[in-house]
Amino acid sequence: MKKENEIEEIQGEEMTVTLDLDDGSHVNCAVVTIFTVESKDYIALMPLDENGENSDGTVWFYRYEEDLSDSNKEPVLTYIEDDGEFEKVEEAFDEYLDSCEFDELIE
């Protein structure tokens, strides 16, 4: 789905990624979080519409790696093709969301 990614910082800490899709189109996504499951890093992305919004709550998960040999240090995102791996990632993300909600209650 992705050939290259551009990650940029906007409005302080908010990060976006532009995904180049196989069909030649581009999708701008907000980076929700990068997290680790069983020693592998993953990224949660929210695809944004032309107004920079995500109205339906869709979240995409990819395996996340930084290629240290790349002089541009562009991250590499790859599909999660294994159903079992995807379920573990989805569960870890749900736990992340639960912890965010708990933190908001405490504050």
Q: Which two tokens stand for residue 76?
A: 């590499």
pLDDT at 29: 94
Task: Using the predicted structure, report yes or no on whether residue 5 has a pLDDT greater than 80.
Answer: no
Q: What is the pLDDT of residues 20-33, one digit of tens each?
A: 888 999 999 999 99
Query: Quick one: pLDDT at residue 10?
Result: 38
d(CA 95, CA 22): 31
What does the chain come to in residues?
Answer: 107
DSSP for 58-96 reads --EEEEEEE-TT-TT--EEEE----HHHHHHHHHHHHHH
- The model's pLDDT over 72-104, given as tens digits with 9 standing for 90+, comes to 677 889 999 999 999 999 999 999 998 887 655
Share of the chain above pLDDT 90, in %: 51
Confidence check: pLDDT of 3 > 60 = no
Confidence of residue 6 (pLDDT cuts 50, 70, 90): very low
